[in-house]
């Protein structure tokens, strides 16, 4: 099975999710999204496959998220593409779907 993880190696939840993928013997593509940002369209596709809105995937603990409090999903996607620290992590995509690894065990649903 192939899995793509949109990963931040400094994040414990992201590291835990990566470990779950490794334990499952997945063929893993690691995308460090802070180094290789996703486009607005890529983010929109991933969230649509996950059945979630951009607002749910917004890292609200970041200072840069405060101005987005009343923003719509289009504005949030634009902000995430411009400032990828706003993307909640980790996201994992497989042929079975996309999940946000919060908690990390959620990714087991698509393995």
Nearest 5°: CA angle at 106, between 102 and 111?
140
76 is catalytic: no
Q: Which tokens belong to 58?
A: 């917004």
How far apart CA 47 and CA 53 sit, in angstroms, is 6
pTM: 0.94
Span between the terminal Cα atoms of the chain, in Å: 8
What domains does the chain contain, in order, with CATH numbers? 2-110 (3.40.30.10)
Strand partners of residue 49: none
- Considering the candidates 2, 8, 9, 11, report the single residue annotated as catalytic: 11
Q: What is the mean pLDDT of residues 44-60?
A: 97
For the chain, how big is the Rg over CA atoms in Å? Answer: 13
DSSP annotation of 62 reads: S
* Residue pLDDT, tens place only, 79-93: 999 999 999 999 999
């Amino acid at each position: 099975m192939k899995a793509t993880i949109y990963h931040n190696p400094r994040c414990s939840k992201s590291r835990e999710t990566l470990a779950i993928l490794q334990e499952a013997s997945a063929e893993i593509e690691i995308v460090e999204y802070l180094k290789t940002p996703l486009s607005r369209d890529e983010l929109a596709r991933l969230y649509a496959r996950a059945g979630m809105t951009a607002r749910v995937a917004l890292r609200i603990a970041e200072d840069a998220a405060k101005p987005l409090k009343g923003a719509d999903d289009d504005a949030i996607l634009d902000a995430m593409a411009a400032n990828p620290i706003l993307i909640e992590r980790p996201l994992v995509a497989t042929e079975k779907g996309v999940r946000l690894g919060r908690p990390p065990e959620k990714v087991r649903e698509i393995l």
